[in-house]
């Protein structure tokens, strides 16, 4: 396959993958007041949150604490930002992103959460 065909194939794949999601996509429409109802620090367990949101990306600490991250990004996947030449275009395109990060204590109970939105949506 010659170089122009490779580039076109890559761009086509990028267009087809126009959003990236971690979790079940619930964070896409999640509002602050809904998050406060679904996620109650000191009460909600990790199992309950996973049932509501699906599995997220987990980061475990030696102390037993962990974070679980859920991301919805509307736009081209960020990995394309690092592809030579293609990245010059994709990095400049606007993308709306919603991120939810949950902090659990070693006993598996939610202690804090943060919902963040960036870009246009």
pLDDT in tens for each of the 121 residues of the chain? 566 666 556 555 554 444 555 556 778 888 999 999 999 999 999 999 999 999 999 999 999 999 999 988 776 555 655 566 666 566 656 667 899 999 999 999 999 999 998 875 5
In a domain, 63, yes or no: yes
Sort residue 44 into left (φ over 0), alpha (ψ -120 to 50) or beta: beta
Q: What phi and psi, each to the nearest 5 degrees, are found at residue 97?
A: -135, 135
Question: What 3-state class would DSSP assign to 41?
Answer: coil
DSSP state of 37: H
Cα distances (angstroms) measured from residue 29 to each of 8, 9, 21, 51, 62: 32, 31, 12, 17, 33
Work out how many domains the chain is built from and give that number: 1
In a domain, 112, yes or no: yes
- The pTM (predicted TM-score) of the whole model is 0.68
In a domain, 58, yes or no: yes
Identify the domain containing residue 26 by its residue range.
Answer: 19-75+94-118
56: tokens are 């997220």
């Amino acid at each position: 396959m010659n170089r122009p065909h490779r580039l076109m194939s890559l761009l086509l794949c990028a267009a087809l993958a126009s959003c990236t999601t971690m979790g079940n996509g619930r964070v896409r429409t999640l509002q602050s007041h809904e998050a406060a109802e679904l996620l109650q620090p000191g009460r909600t367990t990790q199992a309950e949150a996973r049932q509501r949101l699906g599995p997220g990306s987990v980061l475990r600490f030696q102390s037993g604490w962990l974070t679980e991250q859920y991301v919805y990004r509307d736009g081209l996947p960020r990995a394309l930002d690092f592809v030579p030449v293609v990245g010059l275009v994709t990095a400049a395109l606007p993308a709306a992103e919603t991120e939810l990060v949950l902090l659990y204590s070693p006993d598996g109970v939610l202690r804090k959460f943060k919902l963040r939105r960036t870009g246009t949506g």
